[in-house]
Structure 1
Amino acid sequence: MMWLWSAFIVSLSLFTIDRCYGISSSISPFIQYKHSIELEDNVADLWWTLDDAEREITFELHVKTTGWISLGISPAGGMKGADIGVGWVDSKGNVHFQDRYASDFAKPMIDNTTTDWFAIRGREQNGWTAIQFKRLLDTCDSMDYPIKHKILVDFGNRDIVHHLLLHECTPSTIFDDNNLPSGVCDEIMSQVESCSTNFVTVWAVGGDYMVEYIEEVGYPVGDASFTKYYMIQMHYENTRRHSNRRDSSGIRFYLSNELRQHDLGYITFGTMSNLFGLAIPPLVERFVIDSYCPAKVTRVRCHFF
């Protein structure tokens, strides 16, 4: 048996999909990258490519300034605990880069343990500063924050991805592994009925991009008595009727042979959703939907963490 912990992943992937996502910089990037994002309109742009083999990531940051520029990686999106690379280009065209760490919302200190941000090249042009640099995904440095994979919501489709559900198929489910069901839910529902009941995890817009179990708990996979197949159900909100959109959103799983103390168990509460079951009547100030949990469901002792 093996253990699995799932991390919801946000992949900042940009695809060619009938429209262009703006890049403000007047400077062309040094090389081609797999991903890019405009961090702030006419202020900052970022490109990056992940090298899985070397376990490192190459960035290129363009900022509309002729001073120093920086990129931070942090646990919660703020300065506290952030690993920060700071760089600038001097009057002779030389690139300088520093590895810094922010213990709080204050001036980041120099990381005097190891240097893990490495400048490759840079230049100033037309009032913009552009620096290419690289960093390991996980430096094993206590003053660095590891770059982790989280939920894969394709950046190019973040305007239409609404939520996703990971279903656990019953252990008796059998599919042709060379021809697994895939397609629009209504068109394949009869083929995947055995996979539509149990939920492993869910994510929706506004939710956390990463869900981790506590150290004592793991989700068991791989034993003959456990589930072999899982199904991802994606829901889209395509109000603008875009066509020819390709989406690579999903979930990445991590397996380990190191078993944890407890197997994960779960219980789902809620009201079954259908066309009318959750409909709110018009012009009401307050509307209550009652759900009932039969006594037999809670006869098994549950331990909530």
Structure 2
Amino acid sequence: MTCTLFSWLILLLALTTPSQGHHFGPKSRLRYSRFLDPSNVMFLCWDFDLEAEVITFELQVRTAGWVGLGVTNRYTNVGGDLVVGGVLPDGNVYFSDQHLVDEDTLKEDGSQDAELQGLMEDAFYTTMRFSRPFRSCDPHDQDITSDTVRVLAAYGQDDTLKLDREHIFVKSIFLLQIVHPDDLDVPEDTIIHDLEITDFLIPEDDTTYACTFLPLPIVSKKHHIYKFEPKLAHRNETMVHHILVYACGNASTLPTGISDCYGADPAFSLCSQVVVGWAVGGTSYQFPDDVGISIGTPMDPQWIRLEIHYSNFHNLPGIYDSSGIRMYYSPRLRRYDMGVLQLGFFTFPIHFIPPGTQSFMSYGLCKTEKFEEMNGTPVPDIQVYGYLLHTHLAGRALQAVQYRNGSQLRTICRDGSYDFSLQETRDLPARVEIKPGDELLVECQYQTLDRDSLTFGGPSTINEMCLIFLFYYPRNNISSCMGYPDIIYVAHELGEEASDSMEGMMAMNNVEWTPENIKKAEKACKEAQQTVIIKTIDEVVENTTGWIPDIIPTPRGPCLESTGGKVEPHDKTPAGFRAKLLSLSGASMASPGSLPLATLLFTQGTLSLFLATLQARD
């Protein structure tokens, strides 16, 4: 849903009911939108300019009082910034850049870094539109980054600027998403195909990985899958943690029925090349217009493994499920066949995270030097256009870093504010090229302050994972490239005896996890030699070894100097800043003193536009 569609409803109401305030002139379309609360009272639209580093918001709230929008952090709203505004009974508007001193108190910033573009109130809604820089020079303004952003929204039922916890909401949003399905081409000859588990009785266990093998659509010529979306059974949404579709090599002998993916029958873990993936918080994903998943040729897989991870934390009995993935495909071909490369820390108990740690880093190395040999044919340069990040509940940040000839080349993707509840496929702002011989390093940061025992790598939600899926083209046969450290070396560095990997894992339970030993363990895991496991779609596996390189942090860009005030004297001004750039609005602003004329022009112009639109549709 775009903001334009929702605005038509607001517009129709405004034409039939009195409205007042600081009205909107002609304005640019905002591409992205989302409801912020469970009752759909607060509707947010936004858009951004990556070059100018300015973001524009429009907040529409079902209230006649004040409204507020800002950014907060993971743990507390205290310190969060909140831009507030409203329309007084006499038609005058108020608008201010503020921050939360405590859970109940707002204070105006000394530096006013939000630019008002419109405030309007009618019988149903208060609507506020403003822009702000990604990063201002005011320390009270939290940055808008390519990370997950925790959007803070609030409103009042009148114009008394008082916080009511029942009217405060925080929602994790990936604000700087690059594309949106509404902006992409949708073929008219689209065919829909569902890959799903039917009437599966969810076990009463905390964690279940259910797998089955299903055929892909049978087509007489090549087609491309260009979009997928989760198909979640009603009332079971909270139990479905993730859904993965793995392509099977044509030489695989596949079992029938539904069984535990990683249980007694190893056949149900066959097929390891991820085709598409969905996780909690994600929505549909449409590939860029020049890439798709190829089906229908002798080189394409005929079968897939459907994996659904259920988290039945309340051990509910008698729950049946028919969830899966819906695929959209078409004979209209795209330029490139896409593939997915799985990177990270190989998921098994050698991956450990100590209890009671504020921050613990884990690393998984990939060396691409064997890709061509294992692929069987020359591997062209990989063009990465998207990614999906995945940890479990202790994960706080992830990044994938690229190295070439021993030097750090770039950070491919990252999220320094990862939220387990928002795992969605994201597009890169620019495509990244990976050449044969490059090294790829995944770093995951964890926090376990709420745990008093070790967390091991594993499939359960209370275990941990450290994975990044890269979406790329042109497709090759490599399905995954993941690493893990020499656990024997790590045990010895912690003063424990171990002669094999099993003893090394068991030795971690003997360690007293003091802050000193936590730092020692993190250092040992980074310095230990990594075993790198490379796997193909046909389940061919080869190992190599390597060492974890250092990661050079990416410096932050300069902040934008405010035109609306000065930074408080007691705050440190950042060393680098630049003049404030033009905002993304394109909106004309009417002054409160000219409201009658502005109202008339707004109504006449909008009504004419609306009537013209209706005539064009007839």
What is the TM-score when the length of structure 2 is the normalising length? 0.29
Equivalent residue number for residue 123 of structure 1: 120
Contact 1:24 1:43 in 2 (8 A): no
User: May I ask how many residue pairs the two structures share in their alignment?
Assistant: 218
Mapping of residues 84-103 of structure 1, within 5 Å: 84-91=82-89, 93-103=91-101
Say yes or no: does 1:170 pair with 2:367.
yes
Contact 1:25 1:45 in 2 (8 A): no
Instruction: Give, in whole Å, the separation in 1 of the partners of 2:87 and 2:77.
Output: 24
Per the alignment, in what secondary structure is the counterpart of residue 27 of structure 1? Answer: helix
| TM-aligned CA distance change 1:89 to 1:77, over 3 Å | farther
Contact 1:23 1:38 in 2 (8 A): no
Say yes or no: does 1:134 pair with 2:131.
yes
Instruction: Give, in whole Å, the separation in 1 of the partners of 2:86 and 2:412.
Output: 48
Percent same amino acid at aligned positions? 23
Say yes or no: does 1:146 pair with 2:323.
no
| TM-aligned CA distance change 1:220 to 1:162, over 3 Å | closer
Equivalent residue number for residue 68 of structure 2: 70
Q: CA deviation at 1:65?
A: 1.1
What is the CA deviation profile of residues 80-103 of structure 1, one whole-angstrom value per residue up to 9, with x for unaligned ones? 111110101234544321111112
Contact 1:166 1:231 in 2 (8 A): no
Q: Highest Rg: 1 or 2?
A: 2
What is the CA deviation profile of residues 24-52 of structure 1, one whole-angstrom value per residue up to 9, with x for unaligned ones? 99415954211100113341110000111
Contact 1:72 1:85 in 2 (8 A): yes
Contact 1:101 1:110 in 2 (8 A): yes
Instruction: Give, in whole Å, the separation in 1 of the partners of 2:392 and 2:456.
Output: 20
Equivalent residue number for residue 211 of structure 1: 397
| TM-aligned CA distance change 1:25 to 1:127, over 3 Å | farther
Corresponding letter in the other structure for 1:44: M
Equivalent residue number for residue 188 of structure 1: none
User: Of the two structures, which has the highest relative contact order with CA contacts closer than 8 Å and spacing of 6 or more?
Assistant: 1
Runs of 5+ unmatched residues, structure 1? 1-13, 16-21, 183-200, 214-218, 233-246, 254-262, 274-292
Which of the numbers 16, 21, 38 marks the counterpart of 2:35? 38
| TM-aligned CA distance change 1:104 to 1:297, over 3 Å | same
Mapping of residues 218-233 of structure 1, within 5 Å: 221-225=402-406
Question: Which one is further off, 59-68 or 168-177?
Answer: 168-177
Runs of 5+ unmatched residues, structure 2? 12-23, 149-173, 182-228, 233-242, 244-277, 281-340, 345-364, 373-378, 414-423, 431-440, 445-454, 461-484, 494-519, 524-618
| TM-aligned CA distance change 1:51 to 1:93, over 3 Å | farther
Corresponding letter in the other structure for 2:390: W
Instruction: Give, in whole Å, the separation in 1 of the partners of 2:393 and 2:491.
Output: 34
| TM-aligned CA distance change 1:220 to 1:121, over 3 Å | closer
Instruction: Give, in whole Å, the separation in 2 of the partners of 1:76 and 1:295.
Output: 32
Corresponding letter in the other structure for 1:203: H
Instruction: Give, in whole Å, the separation in 2 of the partners of 1:117 and 1:229.
Output: 32
Q: CA deviation at 1:222?
A: 3.1
| TM-aligned CA distance change 1:230 to 1:67, over 3 Å | closer
Which of the numbers 423, 426, 433 marks the counterpart of 1:249? 426
Contact 1:37 1:45 in 2 (8 A): yes
What is the CA deviation profile of residues 231-255 of structure 1, one whole-angstrom value per residue up to 9, with x for unaligned ones? 99xxxxxxxxxxxxxx8436789xx
Equivalent residue number for residue 105 of structure 2: 107
Instruction: Give, in whole Å, the separation in 2 of the partners of 1:78 and 1:139.
Output: 21
Which of the numbers 503, 522, 543 marks the counterpart of 1:304? 522
Say yes or no: does 1:80 pair with 2:86.
no
Corresponding letter in the other structure for 2:343: L
| TM-aligned CA distance change 1:226 to 1:295, over 3 Å | same
Instruction: Give, in whole Å, the separation in 1 of the partners of 2:443 and 2:32.
Output: 38
Per the alignment, in what secondary structure is the counterpart of residue 47 of structure 1? Answer: strand
| TM-aligned CA distance change 1:24 to 1:45, over 3 Å | farther
| TM-aligned CA distance change 1:132 to 1:229, over 3 Å | closer
Q: CA deviation at 1:129?
A: 0.5
What is the CA deviation profile of residues 250-305 of structure 1, one whole-angstrom value per residue up to 9, with x for unaligned ones? 6789xxxxxxxxx9989x964699xxxxxxxxxxxxxxxxxxx9864547746426
| TM-aligned CA distance change 1:227 to 1:139, over 3 Å | closer
Contact 1:64 1:127 in 2 (8 A): yes
| TM-aligned CA distance change 1:171 to 1:49, over 3 Å | same
Q: CA RMSD in A?
A: 4.8
Mapping of residues 25-64 of structure 1, within 5 Å: 26-28=9-11, 31-40=28-37, 41-64=39-62
Corresponding letter in the other structure for 1:34: R
Question: Which one is further off, 58-67 or 24-33?
Answer: 24-33
Corresponding letter in the other structure for 1:131: M
Per the alignment, in what secondary structure is the counterpart of residue 81 of structure 2? Answer: strand
